[in-house]
Amino acid sequence: MKTRLVTTLTGVLASLTMGAAVAQSDFPSEDLSYVIPFGPGGESDISARLQQEYFKEITGQEAVIEYKPGGGGAVAWSQFNDMPSDGHTIIGTNLPHIILQPLAKDVGFETSDLNNFYFFHYSPDAILVPADSPYESLDDLVDAAEKAPGTVTFSGSGTYSANHVAQTRFDSLADITTTYIPYKGTGAAVTALKSGEVQAEWGYSTVAANHQGDTRMLAIASSERHPLFPDVPTFQELGYDLEGGAYRGMAVPEGTPEEAQQRLSEIFQEINEDPAFVERMQELGFFMVDVPVDEVDEFLAERQAEYEEVARGFDLID
Amino acid sequence: MSWSFLLAALTPFNLMLAFIGVGAGIIIGGLPGLSATMAVAVLVPVTFGMEPASGLIMLGAIYTGAIYGGAYSAILVNTPGTPSAIATTFDGYPMAKRGDGDLAVTLATLSSVVGGLTGAIALLTLAPLLATIALQFGSVEYFWLAVLGLTLISALSEGATLKGFMGASLGLLLSTVGVAVVGGDVRYTFGSSLLLGGVEIISALIGLYCIPVLIDLVATPDPHLRVSNKAGGFRLREAMGLALRSKFNMARSAVIGTVVAILPGAGGSIASLVSYSEARRSSPRRERFGQGEPDGILATESANNATVGGGFIPTLVLGIPGTPPDAIILGALLVQGVRTGPELFTENAAISYTFIYGLLIATLLLLPMGLIIGRYAFKSIIAIPKAILAPTVAFMTVIGTYAIRNNTWDVLIMLVLGVVGWFLNRAGFKPSPIVLGLILGPIAEQGFVQAVLMGQAQGAVVPMFFRGPISWTIVAIIVIATLYPLARLVLGNPRGSGEVRENE
Amino acid sequence: MNDSTMDPKANRRDIAGMAYALAFAVLGGLALYYTDDMSTLGAVFPQTIASALIIFSLAYITQNLVSPGSVHPVSGEGSWIRRGLLIAVMLVWVLTLNWLGFIAAGVLGFIGMILVGNYDAWSLRRVLIYALVSALIIGGFYTLFAVVLNVPLPPPRWL
């Protein structure tokens, strides 16, 4: 309670200080519009709702969530820069989507069109198998794939998505050939796994967290083991340089004042550091990151390089 | 299943939520242009401040109310309130046009309660067992199921079969617009972001059904519907008589609805379509279907309300949503920190069972509330002057379409499809095949391509499509369904009714 | 589009139907043409369906030319002007939604629709009642959706 009081006071003080540079006397001065480029119930929605709670505490304003699904996020991202740029409208952004989608096809926006100001967590890629699967470890699976190339099937959500990227990267790292079968959404991919239609799934630790009873994770693509799954090794431990997953961040429309971006970055950073928030996130299977506004460009450049390599493999670019 | 859960569902707060939820759901589902999915999506945030069980009860009540309410606009305005009510228009609107609209509404009420109770009781007693069915259906089975749905479309367009097929193909083609799940292509968008999200099913539904009605509504000063000469009232006794006569039909449709809803992604439209088909096939009054046959409404409304309870089975047991509103409700649960799966029936049993009892109560509430609201709905549609009815319906189509994805382009697509649909309708191309093609397209395509990929992985593609007893069964049904009318044609029709006639 | 053919048993050719069938066949052809840019997997379904559409359309035209069935009876009654106006009003309404904002476009559209749908004589009383009812309906829905449920209805951009 006390830390929260101190945090709130600090927050108020900070906003009052920054306020001088921003047009309003303190920012945010009204409700925030938080656009989610997907439908309700997904991971982006759940994360935003958790952030919403803490946003209210820190700033006293509501973060009102609006859904704008379509095209895997492309509809909302392509229309976003038309929205008000006074700093009170933000949109959730996802990697690899915002990098791969424009590379793959004409989606009405370019990666550089989105002004990201913070990245707060990611769902680390993970290989899941049914609880009764013959594969006890990652090695088992790699062996099976080596013996019979192409026969090991993975379900995953969508094409050119994080799951697909992970499968492609791992195949090249392990020098094997597996078959990726795209499904519409993580829900369908998990169903396919549980029904035995595919032998494994390229999903995330969040999926494993939600289906702990009947699925197992063979490996996780994070820098260290996830607190919720202390027995699951990371890919790096097992010798594969695979780290990453679906990152989530937020952006503002073009023309938003820098001070507002800075302030938003700080607010969400604060939310991200709150221990109770971190705990809720981890219980759901997420892995925290902290990429404030001044580090965003570098972070995106790194990811871009990673994805470009994969995109070459897909024949999307030369 | 202890009694404490039932008592928990009967607390004043939860009862009030059930009551308000059902009422709100009926009204929203009943207004042409507003849909059940939209209702649930838009009201979910309201439940975040509540206990999980209470929130679930309210959402479940809204859902079941809206599915039932969809019958109102289907019967009175020929616009299904939700995809589940598409088949209700087949006989509902003709009944309304000839003056039996109040009877139709009462029939819908009775059968919705029967169906809803069946689904909810299945959820209560057999959920874990039935959930295993969901896992038996994979890509291959879904593909064949979609093909079966498409063949049913043809059966329903008797006499105008080719037009039905053309409509279905158009719908299937429309379903490919946008980003493809498999392959990741962006198809038929011509570079604009307008079509990037594809053709949204509900906007197409509203457009193809409601706009033509509007266009013809303003064309004449005649009253929109005829009022029957029978005395006012619910025509309850008459309806109950018809319902009792058709009890097997209602029961069978309820079972079909429950089972189809267990298959994630199948949804109410398929359930009601299949039960309608079955009802027609086995009815002694087969020829009257499509012209205002009460059995038609009894079948479809029973099936679609059964999908409410049925759809919760995979949602709660497996964490896989049975229908689109279930996906939203599932998300709401996750936000509340309630995990689905076996825990939901063991550690969190309080939440689940309280909710299920609440759903049962809400379904029972459909009867009194439905009858009362139905009476007013019917009276008001007739009493409101067209000068107000038209703009109000138009307004609701605009806001109802917009609110689905918060996208104004959906509204434009709705209108364009509506105008096109009106022209097509005049030439004998009905909207139902188009909408059903749109709904079944993604299921068919994804199932097909996924099966091909899996087949390739195993080195044998064609056998993949005939794996297991379920695929064979569905294929057999398809063959029978296609050959049956042909056989009747060739071997002579024992019932003596004309086979080739234009379907009104 | 042909007007009413009151005798459904006459062996007339379904001109309207055939015209649409032809249009569908052309549409199918266009759809096939545009599958060039797609990947193999992505093109399978559209190609199959487009081909089916073309086949069905040609089959219908052939069937109608060879053995005409009955024509779908269509009512030619009713005011075409009003129908056209309704479509026009709604089109303007939808196209100006983003620019005028939800309320302004809605009010204009609503008023337009009242005028299109009204068959009764205008009196002061009628005008007042309709105005009141319109305000209630528009206001009610707006409050419910935008205020209570936080649905982001399009704001006016012309201000």
Residue-level length of chain A:
318
Q: Is C19 inside a domain boundary?
A: yes
SS3 A128: strand
Q: Which of C12, C36, C66 is the last residue of a domain?
A: C66
One domain, residues C13 and C60: yes
Integer distance in angstroms from the first to the last C-alpha of chain B?
A: 50
| Cβ neighbours, 10 Å, residue C80 | 10
Who among A65, A108, A187 is closest to B196 (CB)? A108
Residue B493 confidence (pLDDT) above 70: no
At A314 the three-state DSSP class reads coil
C129 and C105 both lie in a single domain: yes
Q: How would residue A19 be classed by pLDDT, with cut points 50, 70 and 90?
A: very low
Query: pLDDT for A252-273, tens place per residue?
Result: 999 999 999 999 999 999 999 9
pLDDT score, position B237? 81
Instruction: Compute the average pLDDT of residues B94-110.
Output: 88
Instruction: Mark whether C99 and C124 lie in a shared domain.
Output: yes
Lowest mean pLDDT among A20-34, A54-68, C25-39: A20-34
Distances (CA, A) of C116 to B218, B267, B418, C103, C129: 7, 38, 18, 20, 17
| Chain-chain contact of A39 with B327 (C-beta, under 8 angstroms) | yes
What pLDDT, on the 0 to 100 scale, is given for residue A293? 92
Q: Could you tell me if C61 and C98 lie in one domain?
A: no
Domain boundary pick from C39, C66, C93: C66
pLDDT number for residue B317: 85
Whether B176 sits inside 8 A of C95 (CB atoms) is no
Which residue in chain B is spatially nearest to A214 when comparing CA positions?
B341
Please report residues of B whose CB lies closer than 8 A to that of C130.
Answer: 387-388
The per-residue pLDDT for A11 is 46
Interface with chain B: mutation pick from A75, A97, A153, highest number of B CBs within 10 Å: A75
C84/C130 same-domain check? yes
**Residue-level pLDDT at A317:** 63
Average pLDDT in the B21-35 region? 86
d(CA A266, CA B446): 43
Structure confidence at residue B117 as a pLDDT band (50, 70, 90): very high
Question: Would you say residue B429 has pLDDT above 50?
Answer: yes
Percent of chain A whose predicted confidence (pLDDT) is above 70: 91
Q: Which of B218, B393, B423, B501 to mutate to test the interface with C (most CBs of C within 10 A)?
A: B218
Q: Which residues of A touch C152 (CB under 8 A)?
A: 33, 66
Tell me whether A18 touches chain B (CB under 8 Å): no
What's the CA gap between B476 and A255, in Å, rounded? Answer: 61
Mean pLDDT of A272-284: 91
Nearest to B150 by CA among B381, B413, B477, B469: B477
H or E stretch covering B471: helix B468-491
Residue B339 has pLDDT above 90, yes or no: no
Q: B51 CA to chain A: closest CA distance, Å?
A: 16
**DSSP H helical segments within B176-222, as ranges?**
201-217
pLDDT confidence bin for B1, thresholds 50/70/90: low
pLDDT above 60: residue B61: yes
Q: Could you tell me the pLDDT band of residue B227, with boundaries at 50, 70 and 90?
A: low
CA distances to A310, B2, B316, C123 from B345, rounded to whole Å, are 43, 12, 9, 64
Residue A301: per-residue pLDDT: 93
The stretch B10-34 carries a mean pLDDT of 87
Does residue A75 carry a pLDDT above 70? yes
Do C87 and C39 fall within a single domain? no
C143 plus C91 within the same structural domain: yes
Q: What is the pLDDT of residue B234?
A: 63
- pLDDT by residue (tens digit) across A122-134? 999 999 999 999 9
**Any domain includes C119:** yes
- Residue for token pair 């009860």: B57
Structural domain total, chain C: 2
Residue at C75 is within a domain: no
The closest of B90, B76, B206, B70 to B157, measured between CA atoms, is: B90
**Residue range(s) defining the domain that contains residue C56:** 3-66
| A37 to chain B: closest CA residue | B405
Q: Is the pLDDT of residue B87 over 80?
A: yes
User: Is C158 among the domain residues?
Assistant: no
pLDDT at C123 over 80: yes
Q: What value does the mean pLDDT take over residues C98-111?
A: 91
Does residue C54 share a domain with residue C16?
Answer: yes
Instruction: Write down the mean pLDDT value for chain B.
Output: 84
**B360/B329 Cα distance (integer angstroms):** 17
pLDDT > 80? residue B496: no
* Statement to judge: residues C47 and C97 lie in one domain: no
CA–CA separation, B154 vs B342, rounded Å?
41
Domain end position, chosen among C66, C96, C120:
C66
* Better-predicted residue by pLDDT, B428 or B191: B428
Question: Do C87 and C51 fall into the same domain?
Answer: no
Note whether residue C156 is domain-resident: no
Query: B176 and B403 in contact (C-beta within 8 Å)?
Result: no
| Residue linked to tokens 């080596």 | A146
CA nearest neighbour of B213 among B377, B89, B380, B384: B89
Residues C58 and C91 in one domain: no
Cβ contacts of C81 within 8 Å, gap of 6 or more: none
The alpha-carbon gap from A132 to the nearest alpha carbon of chain C, in Å, equals 32
On whether residue C153 sits in a domain, the answer given is no
- C window 118-157, beta carbon within 8 A of B: 118-120, 130, 133-134, 137-138, 141, 145, 149-154
Pick B327 or B158 by higher pLDDT. Answer: B327
Q: Which two tokens stand for residue B330?
A: 């599932």
Are C23 and C54 found together in one domain?
Answer: yes
3-state class of A28 per DSSP? coil
Per-residue pLDDT at B504:
36
- Percent helix / strand / coil, chain C, rounded to 5: 70, 0, 30
Residue C20 lies in a domain: yes
CB-closest option in B139, B184, B405 to A159: B184
- Chain A residues in contact with chain C using a Cβ-Cβ cutoff of 8 Å: 33, 64-66
At A245 the three-state DSSP class reads strand
For residue C146, the 8-state DSSP code is: I
The reported pLDDT for the residue numbered A185 is: 84
pLDDT of residue A248: 95
Which of C45, C64, C142 best tests the B interface by mutation, with the highest count of B CBs <10 A?
C45
In this predicted structure, the answer to whether residue A29 has a pLDDT above a threshold of 90 is no
Q: What is the spatial distance between Cα B289 and Cα C44, in angstroms, rounded to a whole number? A: 37
Q: Does A198 touch chain B (CB under 8 A)?
A: yes
pTM for this model (two decimals): 0.86
Examine residue C104 and state whether it is found in any structural domain, yes or no: yes
C152 in reach of chain A (CB within 8 A):
yes
